[in-house]
Copies of this chain bind each other. A is one copy, B any other.
């Protein structure tokens, strides 16, 4: 007996996801010969970060939805590739169009109802249009900071990133999760002192 049409679609989506394991990010995995991190393992790591950091959300969040957003938010990179957080603005706009097309193609492998659900979750994350979306975004931004601090400045130091850019990128933690914002500021101070961020 062959599987139902729905199951066939779901299996082709699950199989397609393998490709996210080949999308390389800028972060290095110190404990694995300093190879580049891929977006699949990164998605796992931030989903885990949310499991332990959600109590810091000032406005309560739905952890299940935040987790789903974090699990799916990078899937579009299968077609669109990873964008460095501190890339030029012009590049970012083109990237957004690519990601929208990618979301339609990849989530579109699923049965219609699941496509609709994941697509709208993806938009909610991208647009930060809810407390859940904002918190998920904040977690996605705080993890690279934790990684760079562990890794002698990591991608900041390599790409000569400015202190002001990292502050701006994380600032909306201020209202979302004040304790995490304080922590982020102290880390940025430390990174500047260490010469890992340009003091401008």
Judge whether B2 and A186 touch: CB under 8 Å. yes
Judge whether B37 and A31 touch: CB under 8 Å. no
Minimum Cβ distance to chain B for residue A154 (Å): 12
Judge whether A143 and B14 touch: CB under 8 Å. yes
CA distance A114 to B49 in the complex (A): 12
Residue A150 interfacial (CB < 8 Å): yes
Q: Which residues of B contact A18 (CB under 8 A)?
A: 29-31, 45, 147, 150
CA distance A110 to B51 in the complex (A): 11
9 A-B residue pairs with CB within 8 Å: A14-B146, A15-B146, A21-B37, A22-B29, A22-B32, A40-B41, A52-B114, A63-B64, A64-B64
Judge whether B48 and A47 touch: CB under 8 Å. no
B-contacting residues, A37-94, CB 8 Å: 37-38, 40-41, 43-45, 47-49, 51-53, 56, 63-64, 67-68, 71-72
Q: Which residues of B contact A118 (CB under 8 A)?
A: 51
Judge whether A68 and B51 touch: CB under 8 Å. yes
Judge whether B1 and A17 touch: CB under 8 Å. no
CA distance A132 to B194 in the complex (A): 47
Encode contact with B along A126-157: 1 for CB under 8 Å, 0 otherwise: 00000000000000000100110010000000
In the complex with contacts A22-B31, A47-B44, A48-B17, A11-B146 CB distance below 8 A: yes
Residue A101 interfacial (CB < 8 Å): no
CA distance A44 to B179 in the complex (A): 28
Residue A10 interfacial (CB < 8 Å): yes
Judge whether B186 and A52 touch: CB under 8 Å. no
CA distance A42 to B33 in the complex (A): 19
Residue A5 interfacial (CB < 8 Å): no
Judge whether B146 and A3 touch: CB under 8 Å. no
B-contacting residues, A159-186, CB 8 Å: 179-180, 182-183, 186
